[in-house]
Amino acid sequence: MFDPASIRPDFPILGREVNGRPLVYLDNAATSHTPRQVLDACRHYYEALNSNIHRGTHHLAREATSAHEAARATVARHLHAADPAEVIFTSGCTDSINLAANIAGARLGEDDEILIGALEHHSNIVPWQMLCQRSGASLRVIPCDDHGVLDQGAFRSLLTKRTKVLALGWVSNAFGTVHPAAEMAVAARQAGALVLLDAAQAVPHLPIDVQALGADFLAFSGHKVYGPTGIGVLWGRLDLLRDLPPWRGGGEMIKEVTFEHTTYNEPPFRYEAGTPDIEGAIGLAAAFDYLNAIGLEAVAAHESNLIRAAAERLSTIDGIRLYGPAGRIGAISFNLEGVHHYDLGTLIDQMGVAVRTGHHCCQPLMARFGTTGTVRASFAAYNTLDEIDILAKSVFKAAAMLR
C-alpha cells in the first residue's frame, strides 16, 4: 500500500511552518508542490544545457533540442498519444484552451453552437464566449443538478447538428465532480462536433488515454501535476492539427517566409511560435516520470481515501454543507452556516492549514448554488490522514470562534 511518508521528504516546502505550526497544504487544485527530482531536472537544464532549440547547430543547442523533444515524447507516452507531434507545449491550461478555441474557430459560423457544462472554470467559458463574439455562434450550457452533476438528458437534448464544439471540464475544480467524459465525447463527435476536454484536474488524479477518450483536444497545466508553473499542454489529433490553421505567428511555426507569402510548419511546431519554455517542458516530463515511478493507481487510491475521510469528518461538524457528489475526486468544497467562506479560510490558515476560498474561477456555478464562494480543500499524493484530522479539528475550532 502506498505510504505518503515515503515521498514527503522529496518536497522541501512541506518542511515549512506557517504561523508556528507545521504546514498542512490542501490547495493542490490551485497548484501542487514540486519534488526535488523535478527541481533537479530544471536546474540541470540551466546549469548544463541552456541554449535555444531546433535551429542551432552547436553542441548545446543540439543537446537542449534533444532534451526538449525527449520531454515531448515522455508526455505523449503518459497520455497514450499516437504520436509525439500531437503534443503542443503551451504556457498552461488556459493558454491551451485559448489556442484550441482560436484554431477551432476557423470552422464556426453564425448559425453554429458551442456547448459547455455548468461547472466550467472561467478558462473554459471566456475563450468560447470570445469566439462566439467573433464568429456569431451561440453558447449553450448543460445544466447540473443539486449535487453538481451534469444533466445527461439535457446534454442529449442540447446536442444537435448545430453543435460544432463540446468544451467540457472533465473534473470540476470547484466540486470534484467527475463527468462521463468518454461517453459525452463519443456522443458529441457522432453529432459532428469537435470535443475539447479541460483535464487540468483530471491529469493529476486519473490515468489518461487520449486514444480511448475519443476527444479531439485535451488541455492541462504542469503546475497541478507536480511540475513547474508556466508550462502546459494541448494534445490534439494529428489529422486535425494538420488541417487547422495556426494561431500565433513568428519563429519556429514556419517553413519559409517571404514578404509575399509564408508556408507554415508541420504540427506541433506550427502551434509553437517563438522560443518555448524549454526548462518547463523538461520539468513536466520529470514530473510524469516521478508520478509514474510511484504508480498513478496507488496514488489515486490513496487520494480517494483522503477525500472520503475528509467528507466523513467534516460532515460531523454542525452546520457544515458539502458541495458535489459522493464520488468526487481531488477536491471537496464546503461552507459553514452563518460564516463567510473567507473568514473561515483565513482562520484555518492561522492554524497552519492552507485551503482555498472564493468562487474558484467558477462564478456561474456559485450563482447556481446561491453562494459567492466556498472553502475548498484539495489533495495530492503527499497528503496524509493526519492532515485530514487537522483540517477537521481546525474547521471545528474556527466554527466555535466565528459563531
**What is the C-alpha separation between 254 and 242, in angstroms, rounded?**
13
Q: Which of 293, 313, 328 is the last residue of a domain?
A: 293
**Do 305 and 289 share a structural domain?**
no
**Do 72 and 207 share a structural domain?**
yes
Short-list 222, 219, 241, CA closest to 231: 222
Tell me the per-residue pLDDT of 78-92, one tens digit each, with 9 for 90 and over. 999 999 999 999 999
**Do 316 and 205 share a structural domain?**
no
Tell me the per-residue pLDDT of 100-115, one tens digit each, with 9 for 90 and over. 999 999 999 999 999 9
Tell me the per-residue pLDDT of 123-151, one tens digit each, with 9 for 90 and over. 999 999 999 999 999 999 999 999 999 99
125: CB partners within 8 A, 6+ apart: 116, 364
**What is the C-alpha separation between 207 and 201, in angstroms, rounded?**
12
Dihedral over Cα of 107, 122, 87, 279: its sign = positive
pLDDT above 90: residue 216: yes
Q: What is the average pLDDT across 204-231?
A: 97
**What is the C-alpha separation between 399 and 206, in angstroms, rounded?**
34
Q: What is the distance, to the nearest Å, from the Cα of residue 48 to the centroid of all Cα atoms in its chain?
A: 30
- Number of domains composing the chain: 2
**Do 308 and 288 share a structural domain?**
no
pLDDT above 90: residue 270: yes
**Do 99 and 18 share a structural domain?**
no
**Do 107 and 233 share a structural domain?**
yes
Q: Name the band, by pLDDT with cuts 50, 70 and 90, for residue 55.
A: confident
Contacts for 143-147: CB closer than 8 Å, 24+ residues apart: 143/118, 144/117, 144/118, 144/119, 144/177, 144/365, 144/368, 147/177, 147/324, 147/325
> Maximum CA pair distance of the chain?
72
Catalytic residue among 42, 93, 132, 361: 361
Q: What is the pLDDT of residue 212?
A: 96
Averaged pLDDT of the chain? 97
pLDDT above 90: residue 403: no
**Do 267 and 145 share a structural domain?**
yes
pLDDT above 90: residue 56: no
Q: What is the average pLDDT across 218-232?
A: 98
Q: Can you read off the three cell numbers belonging to residue 389?
A: 484530522
Has 361 been annotated as catalytic?
Answer: yes
Q: What is the average pLDDT across 211-219?
A: 97
**Which three-class secondary structure string do you get for 95-156?**
HHHHHHHHHHHHHCCCCCEEEEECCCCHHHCHHHHHHHHHHCCEEEEECECCCCCECHHHHH
Name the DSSP class of 259.
S
**Do 49 and 26 share a structural domain?**
no
Q: Which of 293, 311, 343 is the last residue of a domain?
A: 293
Q: Can you read off the three cell numbers belonging to residue 304?
A: 480517494
Q: What is the CATH number of the domain that holds 202?
A: 3.40.640.10
Q: Can you read off the three cell numbers belonging to residue 372?
A: 459567492
Percent of the chain with pLDDT over 90: 97
C-alpha to C-alpha distances, 154 to 49, 143, 174, 274, nearest whole angstrom? 53, 7, 21, 43
**Do 177 and 143 share a structural domain?**
yes
Domain coverage including residue 152: 38-293
**Partners of 220 in the beta sheet?**
233
pLDDT above 90: residue 20: yes
**Do 130 and 205 share a structural domain?**
yes
260: CB partners within 8 A, 6+ apart: none
**Do 364 and 226 share a structural domain?**
no
Q: Which of 270, 293, 316 is the last residue of a domain?
A: 293
**Do 185 and 88 share a structural domain?**
yes
Q: What is the DSSP string of 320-378?
A: EEEES-TT--SEEEEEETTB-HHHHHHHHHHTTEE-EEE-TT-HHHHHHTT-S-EEEEE
Q: What is the pLDDT of residue 1?
A: 78
